[in-house]
Amino acid sequence: MQILTTMITMVMTVMTQEAAKMIELLLDHSADTTLLCNGHSPLSLAIVSGNDNVSYTLYTCIIYLYQSVKLSTQYIKLVNQSINI
């Protein structure tokens, strides 16, 4: 029984790692992280499922996108201010 439990744990670990790689691949090809499935975002589904690797990958992507938008917004404000002067 111990060997079976160990094998299942190993398979689950590999599946988790492969899922994170797949998420990275999808994100590299502009996957939309804002789409909802039954009212849940990809990040909330990853958290609920307990998939820490995927949760971290999605969280990192969302933070990066947020910072990019924030910087873009600040840049637009600076451009608008310089045009108005």
Could you give the CA distance from residue 36 to residue 47 in angstroms, rounded to a whole number? 14
Q: Report the pLDDT value the prediction gives residue 23, as an integer from 0 to 100.
A: 81
- Cα–Cα distance measured from residue 48 to residue 31, given in angstroms and rounded to the nearest whole number: 20
User: What is the per-residue pLDDT for 43?
Assistant: 83
Q: DSSP 3-state assignment of 40?
A: strand
Domain boundaries of the chain, sorted by first residue: 2-84
pLDDT at 14 over 60: no
In SS3 terms, 20-78 reads as: HHHHHHHHHCCCCCCCCECCECHHHHHHHHCCHHHHHHHHHHHHHHHHHHHHHHHHHHH
pLDDT digits (tens, 9 = 90+) for 51-65: 888 888 888 888 887
